[in-house]
């Protein structure tokens, strides 16, 4: 577009709403494994969940997807939902929790600006669990733009946060 409009700097993504095939199974993952709290239910077909008392960070519903198969991997759609943890220690704690539950991961990465754990929910929706490094530590290119990358995440070092 020709105009110079930019979103206000404090704009945030408020929530994500996911179609799931089995509401209880999705709640077992998002609430039981990841620790979100139910804020409200819409009958037996939808749940709204949050962290810290917000009205909802994630909506889960079976309105169009009850008992269906996951969306095809190589089609357009949501790549993953990213859940931002406040500290590296918090990320280490959820990593330990999921390790103890033998929950499968799909990847791990140091992106320069953040560190991330990747997994899928029960409906094969991608989930990224991450924390942002302090902004003053973000790598930059000579022109001042961010230098993001995907490198090995030292998981043993991450777990040392819990010591």
Local confidence pLDDT in tens for the 163 residues of the chain: 568 899 999 998 889 999 999 999 999 999 999 999 999 999 999 999 999 999 999 999 999 999 999 999 899 999 999 999 999 999 999 999 999 999 999 999 999 999 999 999 999 999 999 999 999 999 999 999 999 999 999 999 999 999 9
Is pTM beyond 0.85? Reply is yes
Tokens at residue 10, please? 């404090």
**Domains detected in the chain:** 14-67 (3.10.180.10), 80-163 (3.10.180.10)
Task: For the chain, give the number of residues.
Answer: 163
* CB proximity list for 18: less than 8 A, separation 6 or greater: 26, 58, 59, 60, 61, 78, 81, 121, 123, 125
| Residue 62 contacts residue 46 (beta carbons within 8 Å) | yes
Cα(103)–Cα(81) distance, integer angstroms: 17
103-138 per-position pLDDT tens digit: 999 999 999 999 999 999 999 999 999 999 999 999
């Amino acid at each position: 577009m020709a105009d110079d409009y930019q979103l206000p700097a404090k704009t945030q993504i408020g929530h994500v709403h996911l179609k799931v095939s089995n509401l209880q199974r999705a709640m077992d993952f998002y609430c039981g494994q990841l620790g979100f709290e139910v804020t409200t239910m819409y009958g037996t077909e939808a749940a709204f969940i949050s962290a810290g008392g917000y009205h909802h960070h994630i909506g889960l519903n079976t309105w169009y997807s009850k008992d269906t198969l996951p969306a095809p991997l190589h089609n357009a759609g949501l790549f993953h939902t990213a859940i931002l943890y406040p500290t590296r220690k918090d990320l280490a704690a959820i990593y330990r929790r999921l390790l103890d539950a033998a929950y499968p991961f799909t990847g791990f990465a140091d992106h320069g600006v953040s560190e991330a754990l990747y997994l899928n929910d029960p409906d094969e929706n991608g989930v990224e669990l991450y924390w942002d490094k302090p902004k003053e530590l973000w790598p930059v290119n000579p022109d001042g733009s961010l230098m993001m990358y995907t490198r090995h995440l030292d998981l043993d070092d991450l777990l040392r946060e819990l010591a």
